[in-house]
Amino acid sequence: MSKKLSRRDFLRTAAATGAGLLAAKGGMVFAQDPTATPAPLPEGSAGKLTVIQKTEYFPEAQQLIHDNIVKFAADKGVELDLSTANPELFGDFTAKMLAAVQAGNPPDLGYHTLSIPQMYSLDIVEDVTDVVEKAISMYGSVVPVVTEFNGKIDGKWWAVPFSCNSAGWYARKDVFEAAGIDALTLDTWDKRRDACLAVSNADNKMWGWGMTINKSGDGHGLITGIIQAFGGSYVDETGTKVVFNSPETVNAVEWLKETYTSDKYKPMLPPGVESWTDTSNNEAYLAGTIALTNNQPSVYAKAKADKNPVFENTLVLHPPKTLDGRLLEGGNIFWLTIFKGAKNVDLAKELILNMIDPANFLPVSKLGGGLNMPSYKNMWTDDITAVDPNFVTFRDILFNPDLYYGDSHPAKPNALVAAIIAAAIPSQMMANVTTGAMSPADAVKDAHDKIVQIFEEGGVPQS
């Protein structure tokens, strides 16, 4: 989408109200207490390098990044203002960056995993093409493939890939093995659902299906993934035409209705799953009460950090295949952005290359439990995959040669598709179905009409 979209006020509203939810789908909502974010955010000024560092799940990894930034500033002999924040849970981060840019005093550098198409549309980030091209020349192509379509717009890079990770399916291999099931063979949605039913035993406090369709990043991810697996999508390949109301989408919603409301599958659903939030499935998996969940690596990393026995019994799986046999998988990117009008652009670019340097980055990756994997292909060495056998699966997911754009698939990412998730349209649709307020067909049509309204308010007419 061009930054010249009409009705930019619409995008500002999305930035202010939807950033946290967008990030949840992007992946980094963790079962942790976020570090308090300074308010107001720091102001940039000439001669003072101003950096906002995203919190990490592992304090040791966070400290490594922090210490490296401090050392860089000291070696350069420049004053440093380094703040730690959690932009992904700090819902108005993008809006505050917009205000800082408009006021002429933005921080120099931000480390986050927010929507680059949205930031570009708001015109709050600097062109960093030279930095990315230099990184690629030294460390190989960026991974996953979709990274380029999130960060490169109109032929230029507006953010530098720093690290990446991938959502995965986490299976209790011991639980499935006890039922005579090889979790690696569960490669379709139906197989996975039926296996979850088979291993469920309420008397033993074990429920198979550890996913929700409630308003949350995880819930929206599950709903969207199943719709796409059935052949539905929010938009067509152009990203400008809403095509949500289709037989394929209706079939997917009917499958979800059966999963969450039928007597057949009720025994596999954990108590209260209909009201779960983003941390609920993490907590249930770590408590040993669910056999399967779909999540960011945070749940796996937490098990490792706490030496939880579920860690050794966890198998990372690819997502189920689509009905036509494809794998829709990719990854999430952690970005480094230089904000529009920053006073120390050249220095910020030097810092970015310093942070990406394998000597500084790979120690962070090894500590991160799958959360901070290399975003450049040649940095995926045997030394990295030897850290954990499940890292091989993460690598294969991230190296998927087939383009998968996430929520916007089959279109490239754009701010208006991101706004669909920010408005919680998928979860509201499913609430209408599971409460009996609407049939699947009516709920899909209702959601379609709301998506059309978003696009038309964003300057993309549908008629």
| Tens digit of each residue's pLDDT (9 = 90 or more) over 359-374 | 999 999 988 788 899 9
Q: What is the mean pLDDT of residues 197-221?
A: 95
pLDDT for 20 equals 32
% of the chain beyond a pLDDT of 70: 90
Helix (DSSP H) and strand (DSSP E) numbers for the chain: 19, 12
Contact between 189 and 326 under an 8 Å Cβ cutoff? The reply is no
Per residue in 313-342, pLDDT (tens digit) is 999 999 999 999 999 998 889 999 999 999
Confidence of residue 39 (pLDDT cuts 50, 70, 90): low
Q: What is the mean pLDDT of residues 343-347?
A: 98
Confidence of residue 40 (pLDDT cuts 50, 70, 90): low
pLDDT for 114 equals 86
CB atoms closer than 10 angstroms to residue 401: 6
CB atoms closer than 10 angstroms to residue 439: 15
Q: What is the mean pLDDT of residues 175-198?
A: 97
- Residue 10: pLDDT above 70? no
Report the alpha-carbon distance of residue 177 to residue 128 in Å, rounded: 49
Nearest CA-CA partner of 297 in 365, 368, 356: 368
Contact between 19 and 114 under an 8 Å Cβ cutoff? The reply is yes
- Tokens (6 digits) for 84: 């730690």
pLDDT for 369 equals 83
Say whether 168-317 and 8-166+331-408 share the same fold: yes
Per residue in 102-139, pLDDT (tens digit) is 999 999 999 998 889 889 999 999 999 999 999 999 99
Query: Of the ranges 28-37, 413-422, 425-434, 453-462, which one carries the lowest mean pLDDT score?
Result: 28-37
- Residue 268: pLDDT above 80? yes
Q: What is the mean pLDDT of residues 163-186?
A: 95
Torsional sign, CA 355, 357, 360, 364: positive
Q: Which fold has domain 8-166+331-408?
A: D-Maltodextrin-Binding Protein; domain 2 (3.40.190)
- Per CATH, domain 168-317 is 3.40.190.10: yes
Contact between 402 and 326 under an 8 Å Cβ cutoff? The reply is yes
Pairing of strands 109-112, 332-338: antiparallel
Q: Give the three-state DSSP class for 163.
A: strand
Report the alpha-carbon distance of residue 205 to residue 443 in Å, rounded: 33
Torsional sign, CA 304, 307, 310, 314: positive
Per residue in 46-67, pLDDT (tens digit) is 999 999 998 887 788 899 999 9
pLDDT for 3 equals 39
Confidence of residue 349 (pLDDT cuts 50, 70, 90): very high
pLDDT for 19 equals 34
Distance of CA 76 to the CA centre of its chain: 34
**Is the bond into 144 cis (omega within 30 degrees of 0)?**
yes
- Residue 90: pLDDT above 80? no
Contact between 400 and 143 under an 8 Å Cβ cutoff? The reply is no
Contact between 101 and 124 under an 8 Å Cβ cutoff? The reply is yes
Q: Which residue has the tokens 């909502």?
A: 29
Distance of CA 25 to the CA centre of its chain: 4
CB atoms closer than 10 angstroms to residue 347: 20
DSSP 8-state assignment for residue 284: H
- Residue 237: pLDDT above 50? yes
Q: What is the mean pLDDT of residues 407-418?
A: 88
* Domain spans, the chain: 8-166+331-408, 168-317
Interacting residues of 463 by C-beta distance below 8 A, sequence separation 6+ = none
- Residue 6: pLDDT above 60? no
DSSP 8-state assignment for residue 313: T
Going from the C-alpha of 203 to that of each of 200, 206, 207, 272, 289, the distances in angstroms are 9, 8, 10, 16, 11
Sheet holding 168-172, edge to edge: 207-209, 290-295, 168-172, 314-317
- Which parts of 154-206 are beta strand (E)? 156-157, 160-165, 168-172
Report the alpha-carbon distance of residue 136 to residue 142 in Å, rounded: 7
Confidence of residue 101 (pLDDT cuts 50, 70, 90): very high
Q: What is the mean pLDDT of residues 258-275?
A: 97
Q: What is the mean pLDDT of residues 81-104?
A: 80
